[in-house]
Amino acid sequence: MKWNQLFVMMFFWIQIVAAQTQPKPNDFAFGITLELEAGGSIYEVKLPHEVYEGVTRADLGDLRVFNGAGEVVPYLARSLPAKTDSAKTRVPLPLFPLYGSDSESLDRVSLKVRRDAAGTIVDVQTRDAQSENRRLITYLLDAGRIERPIDALVVSFGSKPQNQIWKIAVTCSDDLENWRPLVISAPIADLMYGGFALRQNRIVLPATKAKYFRISWARSEDAPVLETIAAESATATVSPPREWLTLSASGKKSESGEYFFTSTGYMPVDRLRVTLPQKNTVAQSTFWSRNDDDDEWRHRSSALIYHQQIEGEDIANLEVAISPVADRQWRMQVEQSGGGLGEGLLQLEIGWAPQQLLFVARGEEPFTLAYGNARIEVNEKSPEILNALQQEDKLTIKSAQTGAPVSLGGESRLRPPALGSNPKNWILWGVLILGVLMLGGMAVRLFRQMNRETA
């Protein structure tokens, strides 16, 4: 065989290898058909939870988008910006305690108001406020300088615990005469329990723009002693909705108060919620996570978790915010100094904002989102292309919808290949061996020619 024939053969072998290494839809375990809005070239779609449960990599490296001809098109999985607590504006409000009689309706309380040159209230008194049969019945707040709608009021208690829970009502007004209700019964609490200070001090409101707010409570209750009240202003940014998955503790807790949970996928978790097994429980807890048994546990957050029921009202801690992490194994360690959590079912809820898949609709429909391949390498080119496209101001992105997941290559694609079982590897080795033989043959031929010339 002549050398030029060997070169031609090697060229075709390389083409075969290149064709073999291009992924096809059936190389993946599962697929989802993408339904496109008409008239677009670049689309985005929310990744459903089935994708996070079906991939084999936390970085979503075994995910591809195919067109109708089975060709891979450029794509990028990206996280949308979310509203955080630090993005809110918290402003202290002028606070005025008002006094009246037990039998006097709040709407009938007569006020004497003094304002400064800017129109801000500097003093408010009810008529005959010094009368002996009068007591604290409400707090008046001046929010006239707050430009944004207010979506929460944050109260500050005194240093001495009052050991009480109140059912708070909030009303608002623009003229101090006509009041409209915002919250009928919101619990706030200032408690000392088991050596822990437990204070629920945030009153959530529907986003409201008003000049004045009024806080009141049931006449049968002692008045709460409030030092300050701050307004949290609603922001224009909307937080992406989160999906939640409930995990039950596996096995029994350890003597050190450790509980273990396992997720079903690689969700980008950034919120945690705990469902305690018993009411009237409070404990300091630490959360850890890792990807698999070979990894080290990494600290994610520490928080006081509690669930109290007082006078028919449930007081429980809210979500615990953490930095996004796609680990599958979770550990919760509870300090045992306060008696732990007691017996019963402990559950951990993990929450995440689904990522958006951005892709170019090159070629013909139908487009398929394929995922789940333990043998494929990460595609580094698609993010580079789409990152460049996102810098274009005139870029128009249209929406796509996901259908039901279907099986493509089956669950066997989720297992790494056995050594020597991949035919692509044999082809690659064949090309390498052929290349070495060709180079060796060329060296021998060149050596013989040099000997003949010197003879």
Q: What is the pLDDT of residues 349-393, one digit of tens each?
A: 999 999 999 899 999 999 999 999 998 877 655 666 666 655 555
Q: Which domains does the chain have, with CATH numbers?
A: 22-78+355-415 (no CATH), 86-233 (2.60.120.260), 243-352 (2.60.120.260)
* HEC profile of the chain: CCHHHHHHHHHHHHHHHHHHHCCCHHHCCEEEEEEECCCCCEEEEECCHHHHHHCCCCCCCCEEEECCCCCECCEEEECCCCCCHHHCEEEECCEEEEEECCCCCHHHCCEEEEECCCCCEEEEEECCCCCCCCEEEEEEEECCCCCCCEEEEEEEECCCCCCEEEEEEEEEECCCCCCEEEEEEEEEEEEEECCEEEEECEEEEEEECCCEEEEEECCCCCCCCEEEEEEEECCCCCCCCCEEEEEECECCCCCCCEEEEECCCCCCEEEEEEECCCCCEEEEEEEEEECCCCCCCEEEEEEEEEEEEECCEEEECCCEEEEEECCCEEEEEECCCCCCCCCCCCEEEEEECCCEEEEECCCCCCEEEEECCCCCCCCCHHHHHHHHHCCCCCCCEEEEEECCCEECCCHHHHCCCCCCCCHHHHHHHHHHHHHHHHHHHHHHHHHHHHHHHHC
Query: pLDDT band for position 126 (50/70/90)?
Result: low
Query: pLDDT band for position 19 (50/70/90)?
Result: very low
> Which has the minimum average pLDDT: 103-117, 123-137, 181-195?
103-117
Residues 310-327: what's their mean pLDDT? 79
pLDDT at residue 264 greater than cutoff 70: yes
pLDDT at residue number 85: 47
Residues 119-137: what's their mean pLDDT? 60
pLDDT at residue number 382: 61
Residues 156-167: what's their mean pLDDT? 87
pLDDT at residue 69 greater than cutoff 90: yes
pLDDT at residue 247 greater than cutoff 90: yes
pTM comes to 0.61
> Which has the minimum average pLDDT: 7-21, 49-63, 164-178, 360-374?
7-21
Highest mean pLDDT among 2-11, 77-86, 134-143, 305-314: 134-143
